[in-house]
Amino acid sequence: MSDTATRTLGDEIVATPMAPASGRAKLLKMLVPLVAFAAMLAVPIFVEPFWTQVGFGVFAAAIGAIGLNLLVGTTGQLSLAHAFFLAVGAATYCYVSGESGGTATEVGGLGLPPVVGMLCGVALAGLAGLLFSPIAARLRGIYLGVASLGLVFIGQHLMNTLEEVTGGFNGRATPIFAVPGFSFGSSDPDLFVLGIPFGEAEREWYLGLFLLAAAWWFAHNLLRSRPGRALQTLRDSETAAAVMGVNVQAYKARVFLLSSMYAGLAGVLVALSIGAIAPESFTLEVSVLYLAMIVLGGLGSVGGAVAGAAFVSALPVIFQRYADVLPLLSQPGQGGLSAPQGARILFGLTIIAVVLFQPAGLAGLARRRPRRPARTTSVAPSTAPAQGSTP
């Protein structure tokens, strides 16, 4: 099939480029995630446990970033409360699946299976988002951002005062995740793949990978559905959405509920990644970092949210790992520019560069394709007389 279409302009026939074949584009969009997922399955076999631990933290951050991107990038609702919902999911998991006891601080626990604790964490975070949704449905822009900011301070107060649930200032340990007959700890059962022992880091890698794949699949299909198009219409114009029959307040409440549930699941994985929860793990800085993830990745893009999460969450760890060989960085306690400080400086510079030169973020770079030059053909004017005219 030709790559050009013809149009008549006066006595010339001009060829204009046609859109690329949609079949190849759809096939490529299907193959890229599948190939990436298959490659991720083999990573723990070839890398050391340190990198699988980093990867599990990236998976946790990516799930939270996808949820925030649905709210901010797709619907246009500014929220600074993501750290609060992460804290709700993490604290609920630790209390529901944890045991009573403690050394520095006496903590309580229900001792239920970890799967139940994870589901309760997601559900309770969603319930907290649902309770806040009437406010979210009536506000937008900076006003919603300021209102959601209050939830972070409320969360900090609760994390410090509900010592039986959270462990207070000292925090509490995170129960190891397990399903019936299989633990994601270092043993129970002992597991070897191609002669390589699969301990806690390798098992949690696969846990995070499959949960991220499910979160990505759900969000990707949501955006292609009718509710997803309604959410995008809300971002462009609430008045136009209402005229088209979209229930503006109901959709705002639902997307806030969904984003909170994503954050609750991410909070559970963050607790598993760190091995403990404490108030300083869920501060306002965490909410700002999640906003940085979706801005760098590309607002409204699911894949961009994953890429932004990988960049923001893994960069400080990589800087810390190679601080002795990277210029301008120093080891902890040696003075100078530390790895976290260097990462923050790079975040800031990157965000400024993205806003100025690539507003679509990393996702926009992936979508950019070189344009094919148009082929134009001139045809000499016809000298034949028109029909019905006299020669």
Instruction: Evaluate whether residue 255 is within a structural domain.
Output: yes
pLDDT at res. 16: 47
What pLDDT, on a 0 to 100 scale, did the predictor assign at position 9? 47
Question: Is residue 296 situated within a structural domain?
Answer: yes
Residue 2: inside a domain: no
Mean model confidence pLDDT for the chain: 82
Q: What's the CATH code of the domain at 332?
A: 1.10.3470
Whether 149 is in a domain gets the answer yes
Query: Are the CB atoms for 65 and 290 separated by under 8 Å?
Result: yes
Is 376 a domain residue?
no
pLDDT of 111 strictly over 80: yes
What's the whole-number mean pLDDT along residues 25-42? 79
Chain-centroid distance, C-alpha 274: 19
Give the chain's domain count: 1
Judge whether 336 lies within some domain. Answer: yes
Q: Which domain holds residue 177?
A: 49-187+212-367
Task: Give this prediction's pTM.
Answer: 0.83
Only one residue has tokens 């074949």, namely 21
Instruction: Tell me how far apart the alpha carbons of residues 213 and 18 are, in angstroms, rounded to a whole number.
Output: 34
Can you give the pLDDT at residue 48?
86
Q: Is the pLDDT of residue 382 over 60?
A: no
Model pLDDT, residue 175: 92
Answer whether residue 17 is part of any domain. Answer: no
pLDDT in tens, 322-380: 777 767 666 666 666 777 777 778 778 888 887 788 777 777 776 665 555 545 555 55
Region 237-265 average pLDDT: 88
Structure tokens at 307: 């890429």
**Residue 321 located in a structural domain:** yes
The full DSSP string for 127-159 is HHHHHHHHHHHH--THHHHHHHHHHHHHHHHHH
Residue 172 structure tokens: 């509490």
